[in-house]
Structure 1
Amino acid sequence: MTVLKRLDQALSNLGYCSRREVRYWIRDKRIRINGELAKNASQKVDPNSLMVDHQPLDHPGDILIMLNKPLDYVCSHDINEGQRIYDLLPPIWQARNPQVVSVGRLDKDTTGLILITDQSALVQQLTSPKQHVDKVYIVKVEKALDDNIIEQFAAGVQLISETEPCLPAKLEIIDTQTAKVTLNEGKYHQVRRMFAACGNHVVSLHREQFGQYSLGDLAPGEWRDLI
């Protein structure tokens, strides 16, 4: 069902301008509704019907994208923390309301699939422990992997400073120092801490799948719409 919004609210929420500025944009004939010039900032509109400067709006509906996060980027809105994943997206998205956010986080030293959305209910759904959403990582470690680690992960690794062990996780050894790990928890730095608890150090960590979504051939720093 199409949700109609006030013209000024629609453009403000999508990050185009303030609600006050919409009146000036109407005066300057910058806004069209179904091809016709807009006349009133308070009129109810379908955002999909709007054009600004003869261009359709950027993502007038909900946002859900998959980004291949490069190394050294942070999942933070704070400009003081360095290169942000949001800097890889259209600048106008940073002014949207609701704000676009990442679904969970990948630390600065981790690459791969991160979901970004403006749907808070979806964030809750995909990050809730009750949903058991699988995440798949490719992990390179410092020391050669022993078959015993498969059983350790399957039994639930006991992390340092944690009272309860991790939930069972699946580990597949790809080669001497590379493994594929599938888990559905989201503890802080969990994969790195799990290997540390088993006496090994993670050299590189890459997430290739989140629930039903897989990176495929998406290049580092690029993103793709999922809706």
Structure 2
Amino acid sequence: MGYGSRTEMARMAKAGGIMLDGVDLTDVTKRIPITPDLPSRMEIDGAPLDPVPGLVILLNKPLGMTCSHKEDGALVYDVLPERWMRRDPAISTIGRLDKQTSGLLLLTDDGDLLHRVISPKRHVKKVYRATLARPLNGTEGDLFASGQLMLEGEDKPLSPAELEVVSPTEALLSVTEGRYHQVRRMFAATGNHVEALHRERLGGLTLPDDLAPGEWKLLNADEIASIFSAS
């Protein structure tokens, strides 16, 4: 879980830095079952144990952050506790938002969940709010819904997508795929340019109004299940 090496954790336990059920855990040979309630029973250096494997994080991704472990500059992982980058299984983003796209981003160490969310067979809707450089021309909705739109450089048309016009230069677009820069390329195919892009919803999960850019929260079982409730 990233707290330290076996030797470091043994040293911490012997010094009284680990408590289980309110009692100092100094026996470093003791085997502790990893159960969902363990964070409520164990403390490390006076703080509750981190979530056990199977965590899902909802991040309000700010502009300028990259969904990568290795690229230069600000990374989405930078907002998480540093030790979480040493967890095994590793935490990864569920899909990606490009550097200039903000909004709802999920991260998890649950590989099965990750693949369920991004699988084309699941048809999990992703809703984006796009601010455009030029007014909509009125043909976009039918084109996106047709299932016939072919993006430049590809040989397979996009699945049908839903467009909701908010204003002449703003729209909500719901897609079920995750192709490279898909939303930007869809509007580019109509002769327009996306100036700002923000993901508001993933399946039945909506970005909370009180979660500021750069802030994150852990999802509970009901919130995780809601991802698939509107797909």
Note whether the superposition's TM-score is higher than 0.5.
yes
Kindly provide the CA deviation profile for residues 14-67 of structure 1, in whole angstroms up to 9, marking residues without a partner as x.
111112222212221212222222233332214513222232212235311211
How do 1:15-26 residues align onto structure 2 when only pairs under 5 Å count?
15-26=2-13
Q: Give the aligned length.
A: 213
Q: Which residue of 1 aligns with 2:66?
A: 74
Deviates more, 1:199-208 or 1:33-42: 33-42
Structure 2 unaligned spans of 5+: 221-231
Q: Of residues 149, 164, 169 in structure 1, which corresponds to 2:140?
A: 149
Q: Give the C-alpha shift of residue 98 in structure 1.
A: 1.0
Which runs of structure 2 are paired with 1:29-68 in the superposition (5 Å)?
29-47=16-34, 48=38, 49-68=41-60
The amino acid that maps onto 1:54 is G
Q: Deviations over 1:140-194 (max 9, x none)?
A: 1111101111111011321001101100100111111111100100101100111
Question: Which residue in the other structure is 2:177 paired with?
Answer: 185
More displaced stretch, 33-42 vs 147-156: 33-42
- Matched residue of 2:66: which SS? coil
TM-score, structure 1 as length reference: 0.89
* 1:224 aligns with one of 197, 204, 217: 217
Q: 1:107 corresponds to which residue?
A: 98
RMSD over equivalenced CA pairs, Å: 1.4
Aligned AA (1:134): K
1:215 aligned residue: 207
Q: What is residue 8 of structure 1 aligned with on the other side? A: none
- State the TM-score, normalizing by the size of structure 2: 0.88
Q: Which amino acid is the alignment partner of residue 109 of structure 1?
A: Q
CA distance in 1, matches of 2:160, 2:11: 59
Please tell me the residue identity of whatever aligns with 1:41: V
126, 130, 146: which one aligns with 1:135: 126
Q: Deviations over 1:80-120 (max 9, x none)?
A: 42101111122221121111111000000100000111111
> Do 2:53 and 2:110's aligned partners in 1 also have CA atoms closer than 8 Å?
no
Is the Cα–Cα contact under 8 Å of residues 60 and 104 in structure 2 kept in the other structure?
Answer: yes
| CA distance in structure 2 between the aligned counterparts of 1:165 and 1:81, rounded to whole angstroms | 34
SS of equivalent to 1:203: strand
Matched, 1:161 2:148: no
SS in structure 2 at match of 1:81: coil
Q: Does the 8 A contact of 2:14 with 2:27 survive in 1?
A: no
User: Which whole-Å CA distance do the structure 2 matches of 1:195 and 1:34 have between them?
Assistant: 56
Asked if the contact 2:64–2:100 (Cα under 8 Å) also holds between the matched residues in 1, the reply is yes
Letter in 1 for 2:181: H
Show the counterpart of 1:7: none
> Is residue 92 from structure 1 mapped to residue 79 from structure 2 by the alignment?
no
What's the secondary structure of 1:82's corresponding residue?
coil
Q: Which residue pairs with 1:5 in the alignment?
A: none
